[in-house]
Structure 1
Amino acid sequence: MQTAENQNPKNPSCARVLMHLLRQYDVDTVFGIPGVHTIELYRGLPGSGLTHITPRHEQGAAFMADGYARASGKPGVCFLITGPGVTNAATAMAQAYSDSIPMLVISAVNRREDQGMGRGHLHELPRQQDVSRAFCIWQHALTSAEQLPDALARAFQVMRAGRPGPVHIEIPIDLFPAPMPGQLEDYRATPTPSLPAPGGDAISTASKWLAAAKSPVILLGGGAQHCGEAATALADRLAAPVFESLAAKGIVDERHPLCGGANLSFACVRDRVESADVVIAVATELAETDRNLVRENYHFSGKLIRVDIDPAQLVCNARPDLAICADAEATLTALSAAVPDAGEPRRQSSAEEVESLLRACRSEWWPGSEGRFPWVQALRDALPTDGVLVTDSTQLAYNTNHALPLYQPRSHLTCTTGYGTLGFALPAAIGAALASPRPVVGLIGDGGIMFTLGELAAAVEQKLSLPILVWNNSGYGEIRDFMDEAAVEQEGVNLQAPDFVALARAFGAEGCRITQPEQLGKAIADAFTRKGPTLIEITAP
């Protein structure tokens, strides 16, 4: 319905300007659940050009925004109510913070005159910003409607110009209808900032070291998602093996003969990295989650060059011999232009070395993996070459991390890289499917999906052709194995699973149950033909 305000753009409300500016910043989708405190916020939504997706829980809203951001490279946006909306979304925001995912959270907060007074108003949360302070890269609470344009400008600058992460802007509920000066067209986005280029001296030093190196290695982290072509070009130029963190999986096409994939947890790869005479580590924390929970860091015997947009990360976990605080893509491109070509014989030798290392990795797989390998291969065969795999913390996903090759950046969205919460994959896959025309497959365990099962309803509403694989090992299988290994009596890990197929159909989705890897290809292919999600329950061997 057209309101008087929608018809007359002069002195538009704060909520209306917010929607207009979000479109100016190239936002097209927002995730949120309306509440009594955000009614006036939603008055600005009709006619704004924004698509609103309603999850079934605010945690799902933030996970969807996270998946949207990972798949698209643009900030994911969610609207939250005061109090429980913020606390419900906190876990998903913390996951995004841990993995450096750009997310803009717009929440309501109680009226300005009520804040800090403890009067017992609905959804009142004393010091609401304190809840998100630990996992936001920037926060702001509006004290006047006129602050909105500057607050949004700063939010997008910090998400785009440095190490990204969640940003939280609070808007008091009395400001949503507040009139803003001028007309809507007066409000424009601030241009995207240019990222810093590497200094000439740093490139000169790094190129000399790399040109003289006999056994260089390239390590890529999740912050290099935009660097696939540049990283591949430098690897070819140096004839250097490339290894990726779990967050970086797919940045370099894993079919490339110099790509060793996300196998940094295995001793054979670790030895190769530690023995390299020069290592160039790009946009990576060098953290234990990059090494799949191998706690001990590398002992670099050669020179370490670190490249990162965040100066703090340049000395985190390992001190470099050369630190380059600059955009990763610009740095890799400059190095490719500066180093001599290593030549085809050396490229062939390095390719043979990588092939040998990949064979050795499989021999290091932990017990039980061999029984899951046919499922990994079946999933690789079923996933289109441009497909996106969204994984949760579940046993089969730990194997796909290493053994399922991916071919494009932004094709591996996983919560196993940092904060490691359960329940990520279903809503994040929904967000990814809404963000990208590429086919998306979600993989989650029978325990993890119970955290966010209700989001199947949102996927049904959006008619997403989305296969969701549920690895059903009757509980928390990985923790069960750890208890056995530690000689701890199993407690709390053997769960009563529901009938997932019946549950899926109750939501209006399709469901099927398979027991053999040979059945997976058809199940996924059929799911891609449906206008709605398909839950594929896999009975774990």
Structure 2
Amino acid sequence: MTCADLLIHLLRTTYGVDTLFGIPGVHTVELYRGLTGSGVRHVTPRHEQGAGFMADGYARASGKPGVCLIITGPGMTNIATAMGQALADSIPMLVISSVNRRDTLGRGQGRLHELASQQQMMAGVSRFSHTLLDPNGLPEVLARAFAVFQGERPGPVHIEIPIDLFAAPVNAPATSQPPRLYRPSPDPEGLALAAEWLRHAERPLLLLGGGSADAPAAARALVERLDAPTVITINAKGILGRDHPLDLGANAALPAVRKLAAEADVILAVGTEIGETDYDVVFDDGFALTGKLIRIDLDAQQLVRNQSLSLGLVGDARRGLERLLEHFPQPLAKAGAERTARTLAELALRDDPAFAPFVPLYDVLRKALPDAILVGDSTAPVYAGNHLVAQPEPRRYFNASTGYGTLGYGLPAALGAKLARHDLPVVALVGDGGVMFTLSELATAVEEQLPVVILLWHNAGYEEIRRFMDANGVERLGVDIKAPDFLTVARGFGCTAVPVGSPADLAQALASRPLDGPLLIEVDATRWEQSLG
């Protein structure tokens, strides 16, 4: 068995990897020898950034790590942006790359794809980056990667293998069984104190983040036992189900929710950074918590960031929610539903002029595809959807407007989500500006016959940046960009493409969507808004 053979064997047999995203190169051809007949599906994006975004979408939709196989040098610089997005949102991603021969590393000889230190460059966008120098050390390094995914705050891990090690002989592993890892539970004494504070609270509030997405049953039960209004983050959408009477949605940056948060006397935050892109998207540091703050998080350092902490519990969100729930066998009466209803009425989201054009869009999507996974880029419909959309389960709404905030994410991430969840419809929400970053991945969608709906909001440029320029008295420059004929381009890739200008047009397009390949729906923003009267 060679090192290359062992890599594919461990990924498939030990860790259950069924899909790899990568673009073959001269430095990685030996890795592809072992893929044939391995049972691992190889998906070829058209750019390594697309590979990273596909792996990210695969991971968010499935809960399993997305895995990439990437070429030395330019492949790694290309995927770095996608790794940055995954790192910011704690998404498990394994990036395996080649690197130049061991005897040439760091010597600056001008070798093909050479970087001064590829490992150091990737360390900044990963939980750790490792250079494999002993082929028999591969099982241990992979075990470390999956220990990060399963046992601590997840994120990308990078493992680079020198090209002279691919054919090196290795010892066959004694077992194909992975180690069984359990995440820690928060301290019982701390949980008891948290329960006491919550029991005596008059105006409790919950903040649920993406770290709690795998514990919807425990989260719903605890929210109901505490009778507490609950703010969720974008990555936690669906954790309380759809239209739950205690769900304030991802609206922490809006005045009515900020007021309620400031008045709360005890706040329980679980699996959330309490970071800017979830709680302060108006960027004025106005989300203030004055009550006792209890936090549960896998990352001890995160407990003391962003807000003043009263009680910190290091541990797994699911175990924390389940153990805390045991302290509340009977529901409390804290007027939670009434407080939530008053706040939502004050928000009046569906009547907000900023969201008005998108209310009918999401109404049509909900009616036509009620179970769909919605995957978004940084674009106007997504900014509105962060406030308007409610989903029946977690892992059915995510986008790049959080954390790193990259462009080009929506299309490839939607393809990754579809590869992970063949059983669910998937919709990519993209804009005419951002989609140009990764438009070439339409070819991947067609090649893999992925029936993803690409909903392209065309407002002739970078609308969000236009608004910021206008608001700050900056003359518009570089934002009114030239767009291609998207319908012609899509059809050139072999993708079905239709224009729409009204909610009725959109409903018709969704009703007749193909089931054996992608559909691009171009929404003319001007016509759409005119159709609403």
**TM bucket by the smaller chain?**
over 0.9
1:481 aligned counterpart, secondary structure: helix
Moved more, 357-366 or 263-272: 357-366
Residues 419-472 of structure 1: per-residue CA shift (max 9 Å, x gap):
001000000000000001221111000001100000011111111111000000
| TM-superposed deviation, 1:367 | 5.1
Match of 1:420 in 2: 405
Matches within 5 A, 1:393-404: 393-404=378-389
Partner of 2:263: 275
Whether the aligned pair in 2 keeps the contact of 1:247 and 1:290 (CA below 8 Å) is: no
- Aligned residue pairs, count: 523
Matches within 5 A, 1:87-486: 87-182=77-172, 186-295=174-283, 296=285, 298-342=287-331, 346=333, 349-362=335-348, 368-384=354-370, 386-436=371-421, 437-486=423-472
Deviation at 1:310, TM superposition (A): 0.6
Q: Give the Cα–Cα distance (whole angstroms) in 1 for the partners of residues 8 and 357 of structure 2.
A: 51
Alpha-carbon distance in 2 for matches of 1:378, 1:452: 26
Q: Which residue of 1 aligns with 2:500?
A: 514
Q: SS where residue 184 of structure 2 aligns? A: coil
Map 1:495-534; keep pairs closer than 5 Å: 495-527=481-513, 529-534=514-519
Partners of 2:468 and 2:288 in 1: CA distance: 27
Paired position in structure 1 for 2:477: 491
In structure 2, how many angstroms separate the alpha carbons of the residues matched to 1:419 and 1:133? 16
Query: What is the distance in 1 between the residues matched to 2:464 and 2:353?
Result: 11
Which sections of structure 1, spanning at least 5 residues, go unmatched? Answer: 1-11
Q: CA deviation at 1:192?
A: 3.4
Spell out, residue by residue over 1:251-280, the C-alpha distance to the aligned partner (whole angstroms, 9 max, x if none).
221311111111111110111111111110
Whether the aligned pair in 2 keeps the contact of 1:376 and 1:399 (CA below 8 Å) is: no
Partner-residue secondary structure (3-state), 1:37? coil
- Greater displacement, 41-50 / 465-474: 41-50
Letter in 2 for 1:73: G
**Contact conserved, 1:380 with 1:405, CA < 8 A, in 2?**
no
2-structure distance, mates of 1:320, 1:288? 17
Report the CA distance between 1:365 and its aligned residue.
Answer: 7.9
CA apart distance, 1:292: 4.7
Q: Which amino acid aligns with 2:195?
A: S
Q: What is the rounded CA distance, in whole Å, between the counterparts of 2:516 and 2:280 in structure 1? A: 36
CA distance in structure 2 between the aligned counterparts of 1:74 and 1:472, rounded to whole angstroms: 33
Equivalent position of 1:5 in the other structure: none
Q: Distance in 2 between matches of 1:342 and 1:215?
A: 15
Whether the 8 Å contact between 2:52 and 2:82 is mirrored in structure 1 is: yes
Contact 2:56 2:93 in 1 (8 A): yes
Cα deviation, 1:38-78, whole Å, max 9, x if unaligned, reads 01111111121111000000000010000000001111000
2:74 maps to what in 1? 84
1:210–1:339 contact (8 Å) kept in structure 2 = no
Aligned mates of 2:144, 2:342 — CA distance in 1: 49
Q: Give the C-alpha shift of residue 191 in structure 1.
A: 1.8
Which AA in structure 2 matches 1:206? A
Structure 1 letter corresponding to 2:268: I
Provide the C-alpha distance between the structure 1 equivalents of 2:340 and 2:512, rounded to a whole number of angstroms. 36
Given that 1:288 and 1:297 are in contact with CA atoms closer than 8 Å, whether structure 2 keeps it comes out as no
- In 1, the alpha carbon distance for the partners of 2:180 and 2:20 equals 20
8 Å Cα contact 1:389/1:441 also seen in 2: yes
Q: Distance in 1 between matches of 2:471 and 2:503?
A: 28
Worse-superposed segment, 353-362 or 451-460:
353-362
Distance 1:466 1:372 in 2: 20
The question of whether the paired residues in 2 share the 8 Å contact of 1:106 and 1:169 is answered with: yes
The aligned residue for residue 13 of structure 1 is 2
Which residue is 1:4 aligned to? none
CA distance in 1: counterparts of 2:251 and 2:410, whole angstroms: 22
What is the DSSP-based 3-state SS (H/G/I as helix, E as strand, rest coil) of the residue aligned with 1:243? Answer: strand
**SS class of match (2:491):** helix
CA distances 1:223-268 after superposition (whole Å, capped 9, x unpaired): 1111211110001101111111122222221311111111111110
Contact 1:314 1:320 in 2 (8 A): yes
Query: Following the alignment from structure 1 to structure 2, what is the Cα–Cα distance between the partners of residues 363 and 255?
Result: 14
Superposed CA RMSD in Å reads 1.6
1:267 partner letter: P
Structure 2 length as normaliser, TM-score? 0.95
Q: What is the TM-score when the length of structure 1 is the normalising length?
A: 0.94
Q: Is the 8 A contact 2:350 2:359 kept in 1?
A: no
Q: Is the 8 A contact 2:350 2:356 kept in 1?
A: no
Residue identity in the other structure for 2:208: L
2:452–2:519 Cα contact (<8 Å) kept = yes
Counterpart CA distance in 2 for 1:139 and 1:297 is 36
Alignment of 1:60 with 2:46, yes or no, is no
Q: Secondary structure at the match of 1:494?
A: coil
Query: What are the Cα deviations for residues 270-307 of structure 1, in whole angstroms up to 9, with x where unaligned?
Result: 11111111110001111111125233153322211000
